[in-house]
Amino acid sequence: MRAPFVLFALCWSLSGAAGPDSCIACHSAIEEGKGPASIIKNDIHISHGLSCADCHGGDRTSEDPEVSMNKAKGFKGRPARTEIPKFCGACHSNPDYMRKFAPRERVDQLELYQTSVHGKRLASGDIKVATCIDCHSVHDIRAVKDSMSPVHPLRVADTCSHCHSDKERMAQYKIPTNQYAEYRTSVHWQAMTKRGDLSAPSCASCHGNHGAKPPQVESISEVCGTCHVLFEQLYNRSPHQAVFSTAGGGGGCVVCHSNHGIHTPDTGMLAGPSSICAPCHDAGSPQSNTAVQMAGWINGLDSAIKHSETVLAEAEKSGMEISEAQVRLLDGRENLVKARLALHAMQPEQMRIPIDAGMTVARETLQAGQAALRERDFRRYGLGVSVILIAIAILAIRGLIRRIESNSDTAQDSAD
Amino acid sequence: MQMTDPLENPSQDRRTAISWLLGGGVAASLASFFYPVARFLNPPKVSEVSVNEVDAGKVQDLKPNSGKIVKFGNKPALLVRVNDTEWKAFSAVCTHLNCTVQYQEARREIWCACHNGTYDLEGRVTSGPPPKPLEELAVKIRGEEVVISKKV
Amino acid sequence: MPATELKNKTLDKTLDWLDERTGWRMVRDLMDHKVVPMHAGTAWYYFGGITLFLIGVQLFTGILLLLYYRPTVAEAFDSVRFIMTRVDFGWLIRSIHSWSANLLILSAFIHMFSVVFTRAYRRPRELTWLSGIILLALMLGFGFSGYLLPWNQISYFATKVGTDVAGTTPGVGPLIARFLRGGEDVGAATLTRFFDFHVIILPLIAFGLIGLHLALVQKHGMSTPSGIPAQKLSHMKFFPNFFLRELMVWYGVLAVLGTLAAIFPWELGEKADPFASAPAGIRPEWYFLAEFYTLKLIPSHVWIIEGELLGLLGFGTGAVVWVLLPFWEMKANGERRTRLATGMGVFLVCYLVTFTILGYVK
């Protein structure tokens, strides 16, 4: 009951000041530190000179609530959840308005949202799905590139997981909730967090952000192919493309590489006990043999390169200069990458080219490393020889000294 | 002065032998110092010390609107003949994860196959993950020869 | 006449011919009189010779390196790598040069301290002491200037730190820093200058001073520790007896150098990149480490004086006191401040050893 008095007193005291936003002034007094007016200073809209009234309507210059929050005069109040997208879209879908603040900013977010699963469900009355404010926050909305924004590349997955890892919430939609956990084990997450590579994909990169929807089976390789271009091209020309698009359970790259928990591939996927070719291709079939053969080539090249690396490292530890060989070895690693790429065509002849080139590099660098080790041994051997010769020389000088001094002794004796 | 007869004095004999041995040792030790020095003085076959300049072939070897990879020191470089008269060269090491880039004639841009990064003909990143532009190198035409060198 | 007699006669005739023209026999006669006193501390006499031998090694290997080294920012590092990898036995010459530099400075310090503890700086040998101290400073200058020449990361940043410290000298500091660097920052101009210092300026001054130092030693003879009366002392001829022993020692030093060069080759590092951040734990070579670590320990401000300034003033005063040792050790009334001098010497050795070790460990 005290509030109206405080309000009145505050507004009265502020009435003399020019310019202050009455919405923020009064509401921060009421909120006692918790609430929109207290956090709005972090909001990007404020930094562009906008404030409460620009979204919620009303008159910010008047301290009289009758005037400032007058519905007849345009005050919108708090929108219903189903109205939120249109509420934001009033400005964000208006190109003429957005051009005043950020001419290059997109204005199709609302349109995209309405095609998304979230948008469609919201339109049918489901208020439990995500709206603008669930991802972007509200009243303290930050720019995407602000690292504290919930939609900063490093935080997107976490934001999506607030709902999508919640079993109870997802139960009614029958959507699994393991995606975030799997994603956190993936190479893409590693790239982002350990290497700081913000170009690595997270949820929105493959699913879209505003128009979020899982990519359909036939488009999965296209989606992966936005970055992994050559893999997509080879896969599309391979026999798998036709087969995987009609098979169930994911399709495209996902069949072998999974969708969220994408790990560094290894030759164990081709041959051996955990082979993923085995479920479709019987052992002994031409395809299975091809897989085994290609796995063998890749393993062979990999171990040849590792062997060269070991020898070169040993040479370097002994102080030999092998920087040229180490640079050449980078070529070898690149050939290994190309071989792994070539395998997506599922045609052994295509893989032979990088494999052969890589083996040549491995051979040459191994020779260089072994030559360096031989040189090291030669130096130590030469050192040993020199030290022995020096020891002989020292003995010779000692002998000479002895001879001179014994002679002079005997000379003295005989002189006496 | 009495001269000891070497034939009658075996210990004198042995002493002479040892003297010769030791003297030989000293000589050998001196040789083992001067042999490396003598070899050092002989300049090696390749007398150029570092790579500031590389021959990248003849002018007519590269058609307009095409590119090729050239070894520059121990790193790859990309030489692009933009048109009849304009040449460009860059370090071919992609700034994302160090793959070797290539020239795309159809799109007139430099492309990295690993993760679809692209650069324009000034070396600037136009799309994809690379964080920094490509280091530009200088191209000089000496008569028929194309020479790539470090940009000073 | 028998062959040997003919050979000897020809030899004598040649030597006579030479003596008439150059007077070499006079020098030989002088050297013939040189004797070395034999006592418990005789072994310390070797260190002057070792230092001289190592200077000779540096001169020799340095001239060889000059055949291939290029003193420009663009080529310095690559030329050193060229020497290490392409030139026959280049690795040997370069590693010997780097190791010998360190052994040289160590030997010079031992030589100096042995002079202090055997009181060989006393009258009439004050000028010998002075020239020796200046030579020690020159050797440190050789070390500092030569260190930059390979133009790798460690040497670039060590030079930056070193010239920074020099620049904090009160008054003339910035001038000194600018003179050393050839500009505001360590760069191409610095490399050119340091090359100039290392290859001609310091050598010319050093050889002049070495000549003086050696001439003075010949004039005054070897000093003997004061405790022993002159009559009881036995002497050994320098030529050939002591000199042959010195040769043995020099051979031994050569063996050590060869072993170090072959088993612990001097590293090449990476080419200097001024825009990279300084390598973690950057520190100067061991012979500057004690002072460097001391400066690090001093708090940034002591009362109102800047810590680094205080440190430099401390070193400066210490250096002046040390240089003038022969003069203040003898009081006006003829009494000697022996204990004080010994105490200072012991303190200095302990300080240098301890702080060098600390500088490494920390």
pLDDT at A7: 55
Q: What type of residue sits at position C228?
A: I
Same domain (yes/no): B71, B30: no
For C250, name the nearest residue in chain A, comparing CA atoms only: A394
- Among C248, C255, C262, the residue with its CB nearest the CB of A380 is C262
Check residues A28 and B133 and name the one with the higher pLDDT.
B133
Asked if C64 is an interface residue toward chain B (Cβ–Cβ < 8 A), one would say yes
The CATH number of the domain where B123 resides is what? 2.102.10.10
pLDDT at A218: 59
Domain annotation covers residue B92 = yes
Q: Which residues contact C311 (CB under 8 A, 6 or more apart)?
A: C291, C294, C295, C298
Select, from the ranges A32-36, A263-267, A368-372, the one with the highest average predicted confidence (pLDDT): A368-372
Same domain (yes/no): B77, B110: yes
How many domains does chain C fold into? 1
* Residue contact B25–A324, C-beta within 8 A: no
Asked if C258 is an interface residue toward chain A (Cβ–Cβ < 8 A), one would say yes
Name the nearest CA neighbour of A183 among A196, A202, A155, A170. A202
Per-residue pLDDT band for B48 (boundaries 50, 70, 90) equals: low
* Residue contact A226–B116, C-beta within 8 A: yes
Same domain (yes/no): B36, B88: no
pLDDT cut 90: percent of chain A above it: 36
Same domain (yes/no): B22, B64: no
**Res. C100: pLDDT tops 80:** yes
How many domains does chain A fold into? 3
Chain A nearest-CA distance from C85, in A, is 6
> Would you tell me which residues 91-110 of chain B have a C-beta closer than 8 angstroms to some C-beta of chain A?
96, 98-100
Same domain (yes/no): B38, B106: no
pLDDT at C213: 96
pLDDT at A414: 40
Same domain (yes/no): B23, B91: no
Check residues C262 and C101 and name the one with the higher pLDDT.
C101
pLDDT at A2: 60
pLDDT at A409: 58
**Res. C296: pLDDT tops 90:** no
* Residue contact C86–B42, C-beta within 8 A: no
| Domain encompassing residue B21 | 10-44
User: Which H or E run contains B87?
Assistant: strand B87-91
For C263, name the nearest residue in chain A, comparing CA atoms only: A380
Chain C hits for A319, Cβ within 8 Å: 264-265, 267
Q: What is the mean pLDDT of residues B38-59?
A: 80
Region of poorest pLDDT, from A90-99, A335-344, C220-229: C220-229
Both tokens of B53, joined, read: 């300049």
A-B CB pairs within 8 A amount to: 58
Per-residue pLDDT band for A248 (boundaries 50, 70, 90) equals: low
pLDDT at B9: 60
Same domain (yes/no): B93, B18: no
Q: Look up tokens 């003193």; give the residue.
A: C71
* Residue contact B29–A228, C-beta within 8 A: no
A-C CB pairs within 8 A amount to: 49
CA distance C46 to C49: 5
pLDDT at A217: 56
Chain A nearest-CA distance from B128, in A, is 7
Q: What is the mean pLDDT of residues B92-104?
A: 90
User: Which H or E run contains A348?
Assistant: helix A348-415
Q: What is the mean pLDDT of residues A90-114?
A: 92
Domain annotation covers residue C250 = yes
pLDDT at A159: 94
**Res. C281: pLDDT tops 80:** no
Same domain (yes/no): B38, B75: no
Asked if B46 is an interface residue toward chain C (Cβ–Cβ < 8 A), one would say yes
Q: What is the mean pLDDT of residues C36-42?
A: 83
* Residue contact B46–C86, C-beta within 8 A: yes
Q: What is the mean pLDDT of residues C228-250?
A: 84
The CATH number of the domain where C287 resides is what? 1.20.810.10
**Res. C123: pLDDT tops 80:** yes
- Among C81, C240, C264, the residue with its CB nearest the CB of A321 is C81
Per-residue pLDDT band for B47 (boundaries 50, 70, 90) equals: low
Q: What is the mean pLDDT of residues A198-222?
A: 82
Domain annotation covers residue C233 = yes
Both tokens of A126, joined, read: 């489901």
Q: Which residues contact C218 (CB under 8 A, 6 or more apart)?
A: C30, C34
Chain B hits for A226, Cβ within 8 Å: 116
For A401, name the nearest residue in chain C, comparing CA atoms only: C241
**Res. C107: pLDDT tops 90:** yes
Condensed to tens digits (0 to 9), the pLDDT of residues A36-88 reads 888 888 899 988 888 888 899 888 888 888 888 888 888 888 999 999 999 99
Region of poorest pLDDT, from A218-227, B15-24, C70-79: B15-24
* Residue contact C78–B37, C-beta within 8 A: no
Chain B nearest-CA distance from C64, in A, is 7
**Res. A14: pLDDT tops 70:** no
Residue pair A188/A197 in contact by the 8 Å Cβ criterion: no
Domain annotation covers residue C6 = no
Same domain (yes/no): A365, A303: yes
Asked if C75 is an interface residue toward chain B (Cβ–Cβ < 8 A), one would say yes
R_g (Cα) of chain A, nearest Å = 37
pLDDT at B50: 62
ipTM of the complex: 0.79
Check residues A196 and A319 and name the one with the higher pLDDT.
A196
Residues of A with CB under 8 A from a CB of B: 197, 199-200, 226-230, 323-324, 327-328, 330, 334, 337, 382, 385-386, 389-390, 392-393, 395-397, 399-400
**Res. A184: pLDDT tops 60:** yes
Domain annotation covers residue B135 = yes
Same domain (yes/no): B79, B127: yes
For A386, name the nearest residue in chain C, comparing CA atoms only: C255
Chain B hits for C70, Cβ within 8 Å: 49
pLDDT at B1: 45
Measured CA distances, A54 to A1, A41, A50, A77, C360 (Å)? 30, 15, 6, 12, 65
Region of poorest pLDDT, from A198-202, B45-49, C70-74: B45-49
Per-residue pLDDT band for A18 (boundaries 50, 70, 90) equals: very low
Chain C hits for B52, Cβ within 8 Å: 74-75
Condensed to tens digits (0 to 9), the pLDDT of residues A140-177 reads 999 998 989 999 999 999 999 999 999 999 999 988 89
- Among A229, A323, A392, the residue with its CB nearest the CB of B22 is A392
Residue A34: half-sphere exposure toward Cβ, Cα within 13 Å: 0
Asked if B36 is an interface residue toward chain C (Cβ–Cβ < 8 A), one would say yes
| Domain encompassing residue A309 | 286-415
Check residues C60 and A314 and name the one with the higher pLDDT.
C60
Chain A interface, best mutation among C248, C253, C268, C270, by max A CB count within 10 A: C248
* Residue contact A401–C244, C-beta within 8 A: yes
How many domains does chain B fold into? 2
Domain annotation covers residue C125 = yes
Domain annotation covers residue B77 = yes
Name the nearest CA neighbour of C133 among C347, C359, C326. C326
Same domain (yes/no): B22, B90: no
* Dihedral, C162, C168, C170, C172 alpha carbons, nearest 10: 60
For B73, name the nearest residue in chain C, comparing CA atoms only: C78
| Domain encompassing residue C235 | 33-361
The CATH number of the domain where A324 resides is what? 1.20.140
Domain annotation covers residue C9 = no
Per-residue pLDDT band for B51 (boundaries 50, 70, 90) equals: low
Q: What is the mean pLDDT of residues B24-31?
A: 86
pLDDT cut 70: percent of chain C above it: 98
Same domain (yes/no): A49, A154: no
Condensed to tens digits (0 to 9), the pLDDT of residues B70-90 reads 888 778 899 999 988 899 999
Condensed to tens digits (0 to 9), the pLDDT of residues A255-297 reads 889 889 999 988 888 888 888 888 888 888 998 999 999 999 9
Chain C nearest-CA distance from A326, in A, is 14
Condensed to tens digits (0 to 9), the pLDDT of residues A103-149 reads 999 999 999 999 998 999 999 999 999 999 999 999 999 999 898 99
- Please give the mean pLDDT across all residues of chain C: 89
Chain B nearest-CA distance from A390, in A, is 6
What's the whole-model pTM score? 0.72
pLDDT at A371: 93
Q: Which residues contact A257 (CB under 8 A, 6 or more apart)?
A: A265
Check residues C6 and C152 and name the one with the higher pLDDT.
C152
Same domain (yes/no): B97, B26: no
Domain annotation covers residue C26 = no
Per-residue pLDDT band for A17 (boundaries 50, 70, 90) equals: very low
Same domain (yes/no): B141, B74: yes
**Res. B49: pLDDT tops 80:** no
Crossing angle (nearest 10°) for helices C46-66 and C243-263: 50
Q: What type of residue sits at position B68?
A: K
pLDDT at C32: 84
pLDDT at A221: 84
User: Which H or E run contains A7?
Assistant: helix A3-14
- Among A323, A386, A404, the residue with its CB nearest the CB of C241 is A404
pLDDT at B26: 84
pLDDT at A197: 85
10 Å CB burial of residue A71 (0-12, 13-18, 19+) is exposed
